[in-house]
Amino acid sequence: MSSIVAPTGITMGTGVPRLDPHAVRADFPILGVSARGKRLVYLDSAATSQKPRVVIDALCDYYSTSNGNIHRAVHYLSERATTLYDASRETVRRFINAPHVHEVVFTRGTTESINLVATSFGQAFVRAGDEIVVSQLEHHSNLVPWQLLADRAGAVLRFVPVQDTGELDMDAYRRLLSPRTRLVALGHVSNALGTINPAREISDAAHEVGAAVLLDGAQAAPHMEVDVQSLDCDFYAFSGHKMLGPTGVGVLYGRTSWLDRMPPYQGGGDMIDTVSEQGTTFAPLPSKFEAGTPDIAAVVAFAPAIGYLQRLGMEAVASHERDILAYATERLAEVRGTRVIGTARHKAGVLSFTMEGVHPHDIGTILDGEGVAVRAGHHCAQPLMRRFGVPSTARASFYVYTTREDVDAMIDALHVVRRVFG
């Protein structure tokens, strides 16, 4: 008889392994706290995820046993820190199936990853009259850097329109592409609506006109399998803190052929080869893009976060979130006057909604009083809010530790909102 030892939270059976969120929850100390005297119901993982014990311990262990600066001294601690830091890079490489480890650049987060490309790629390749394609769906961090670049270079931003379902208009996208298109910068998953965009189709069409493709993966990498080779993108940006890791670490994956031809983003230590008064030759990839001392502890503790997700299995993670999303969408319909914004066929675990006669901020405050944490606001996506004619929405977002009981608690709290506002 063969026996399979399943990791915490996973039940093996036929087909896709199922994730047991109740078992997962035991690994997250913060989920035991009470909020406003109630059981904490955390439905804001799209803003930042909570951290499992292994990640919290890794941060503590790093500072207790291994803290030194990387890639510098010959002493014991520097060597230890460097080994751990480089091991994290390899962990990330495997997680996204990047061909080469030097194509994984550590940044402070998705925002910095995108700004790096806007600055360095922009300097090398974007000229007056060139076009950059973005969409109405973007988080401000995948829009403002391109506006700044367009201003600097005299380039033009073109916007892919969004349909009523919250899906990109792919026909319009294809029509926007031309030999003038230098770069396509689109979200893989929308933070505000949860729409999963057809990333491979986006890449293929862009490459046909010779444009490079950047995917903002901040809301995708935490929730589904990401393989940069099968997506065939040129750049992929994401953050550690939305996928069980610490704040202060993000990733930019970039194809060698582009990264090699891009100038450094920032100058400083660790990114140089030799420096003289007259000039500097730069370090090879990825150090060229990692000036200064990074958040070493965060990078080191990011590895166990990825390890945790890999033990659960990204397929099981995605399937669990689909299940919770379907349940929440169905139950939300019970609450009078609610309207779901974003009804795409393929959605990640995000439920954005409005409630007739009640401003999302008031929903947020009353839910908070019941211990339920949701986001209320424009989700850093003001053009998208305007597209749907709402100033803001309430947003519940789900993750590996979200249970149906959490959804029930939110629905109960929404009934309280309804009672207050009539």
Catalytic center residues: 380
State which residue, 113 or 352, has the beta carbon closest to other proteins: 352
Q: Which of 138, 216, 370, 406 is close enough to bind other proteins by CB under 8 A? A: 370
Which one, 170 or 416, has the nearer CB to other proteins? Answer: 416
Give the residue with the Cβ less far from other proteins, 287 or 338: 338
* Among 65, 365, 404, 405, interactor with other proteins by CB under 8 A: 365
Taking contact as CB under 8 A, which single stretch among the options 54-62, 226-234, 319-327, 373-381 is the one that binds other proteins?
A: 373-381
Could you say whether residue 48 binds other proteins (CB under 8 A)?
no
Closest alpha carbon to 410 in 377, 368, 350, 360: 368
Report residue 324 as tokens. Answer: 């919770």
Of the candidate residues 137, 376, 396, 407, the single one contacting other proteins (CB under 8 A) = 376
Q: Does 385 bind other proteins (CB under 8 A)?
A: yes
Residues 389-408 that bind other proteins (CB under 8 A): 391-392
Among 52, 113, 360, 410, binds other proteins (CB under 8 A): 360
CB of 209 to other proteins, least distance (A): 36
Q: Which of 125, 159, 327, 421 forms a contact with other proteins (CB under 8 A)?
A: 421
Told to check if 141 binds other proteins by CB under 8 A, we report: no
Which whole-number Å values give the CA distances from 315 to 9, 24, 48, 190, in the listed order? Answer: 14, 16, 21, 19
Q: Which is nearer to other proteins, 100 or 386 (CB)?
A: 386
The two three-digit tokens of residue 6, written as one number: 């399943």
The residue among 80 and 140 lying less far from other proteins, judged by its C-beta, is: 140
Binding site for other proteins (CB under 8 A): 36-38, 358-362, 365-366, 368-370, 376-378, 382, 385, 391-392, 416, 419-422
